[in-house]
Each structure stands twice: as structure tokens, then as C-alpha cells.
Amino acid sequence: MTDGARLFLDAWTHARPQPPARRAATLLARLGGEAEPERLPIGVRDRRLLELFAGMAGAHLAGVAECDSCGGAIEVAASVDMLMSGPPTAPILVEIDGERVPVRFPTTHDVLAAVAAPDPSRRLAELCAGKGELGAGEAEQVGAALLAADPLLDPQIAVTCPDCGAETVFGFDVGAFLWAKVEDRARHLLSQIHRLACAYGWTESEILKLPEARRAAYLELSAA
């Protein structure tokens, strides 16, 4: 556990100043040992992140969202298995100018390059199609084909508001969800370190060498 806590904090430290797309890749590299996560297709990257999360926190994902109709709080829940279903099994072909063009799935590198463009969605489609400039309609075709082929590129979760009964579909960002969990866990660890350092004068390294149960026991004693 002590090595795990140190590894977790190191991953958080490296990922925190990065843009969201790069954060997801950094977490996979630091916590999952992936050598070149930025070169993985986004769907593959996010499936591996979900597997990583399931190994750390279980296969149930839960959060709270706001109802579009009444503003009430809605509990949103999903399982890792549900989100990971339907991985692509064949190459994508999209007809552009009468030609069936092979389209690859976007990577973190592609997303980062597209974000800097005036029209990120069109630029991302162009990178995946490898066809230079695309018209707006052609870019939409490419994007629709990719989303249809791999639901994890834009996972959707349908829920019913318990207050007004309205049905709402929420987009689920795997990287953002896991980053929020990492941030919460990191801040919890930092709070423990701070309290124990103030109480006993121990260094961060000394505190992280303690098993989690003993850290908790010392925290109880320091608060007594």
C-alpha cells in the first residue's frame, strides 16, 4: 500500500498541470505502466483506464448531475462493463468524394493537435481520415462513423429525474471522471500527510512508509 500511495501521488503531481486529454494518458502511463499511451486510440486508452479504475475502486461508477428540466440532483450510475461493451472489431470506411476512405480512430496526439485548430472537430476528422481538408459535411460523416463504431468515444448514460420524471441523457467523460477520483484520493492523502507531519514531525516519505491502517490509527491518536 505504501508504494501504491507514493505512486498515486506522483501520478497526480505529474498530471495536475496538464490539459485534460494529456492527463488521461499520463494517468495510464504512471498508474498502469503503459509505455506510449498518447499513441493509443482514445477508445483503447479509456478502456484501459476503466480497467485500472475497476482494479482500484471496483466496477461501479457513480456521480451526481443536475436535471436539465427542474435543476434537481440526479444520481448517475453505470458499470465499467456497460461502458466497455461494443469495442470496434473492424476498420472504418467512409465514402468521401466517391471513394471509400479508411479512417483510423483518434489518439491523444490527434486530440491535442485538433484543439489548437480553429475548428477542432473538423481538424480531428481530417487527421483521422488523412485526406487533408474536409468539407463540413464530410467531417460530420467521419465523426458520425467513428462514434457509431466505438461508443466509448462519446459514452452516454440515460437517467430519469426522481423529482420531475424527465429523462435526460448525460455524456460521460471517462478521463474527467477518473481524474476527479484521483484528485479526491490525492487530496485525502495530502491531508493525512499534513496532519501527521504537524502532529509528529515526520517527513512525507516516513508517513507514506506506514501501512494505511497505521496511518489511520495515528491520525485518531493525534486528534484525541
pLDDT at residue 89 greater than cutoff 80 = no
3-state secondary structure of 91: coil
> What share of the chain in percent tops pLDDT 70?
99
pLDDT at 38: 94
> What angle in degrees, to the nearest 10, is found between the helix axes of 108-115 and 20-32?
160
From CA 160, how far away is CA 154, in angstroms rounded? 20
Neighbours of 183 (CB within 10 A): 14
The mean pLDDT value for 146-175 works out to 89
- Mean of per-residue pLDDT scores for the chain: 89
pLDDT at 3: 62
Amino acid letter for position 23: R
Quick check: pTM over 0.75? yes
* Nearest residue to 5 (alpha-carbon basis) of 145, 182, 135, 163: 182
What torsion, rounded to 10 degrees, do the Cα atoms 69, 75, 180, 78 define? -110
pLDDT at 189: 93
Give the sign of the dihedral formed by CA 189, CA 195, CA 199, CA 202. positive
Specify the higher pLDDT residue, 90 or 147.
147
The answer to whether the CB of 131 falls within 8 A of the CB of 124 is no
From CA 208, how far away is CA 216, in angstroms rounded? 12
pLDDT at residue 44 greater than cutoff 60 = yes
The answer to whether the CB of 190 falls within 8 A of the CB of 16 is no
> What share of the chain in percent tops pLDDT 90?
54
pLDDT at residue 1 greater than cutoff 50 = no
From CA 201, how far away is CA 223, in angstroms rounded? 15
The mean pLDDT value for 91-105 works out to 90
The mean pLDDT value for 94-104 works out to 90
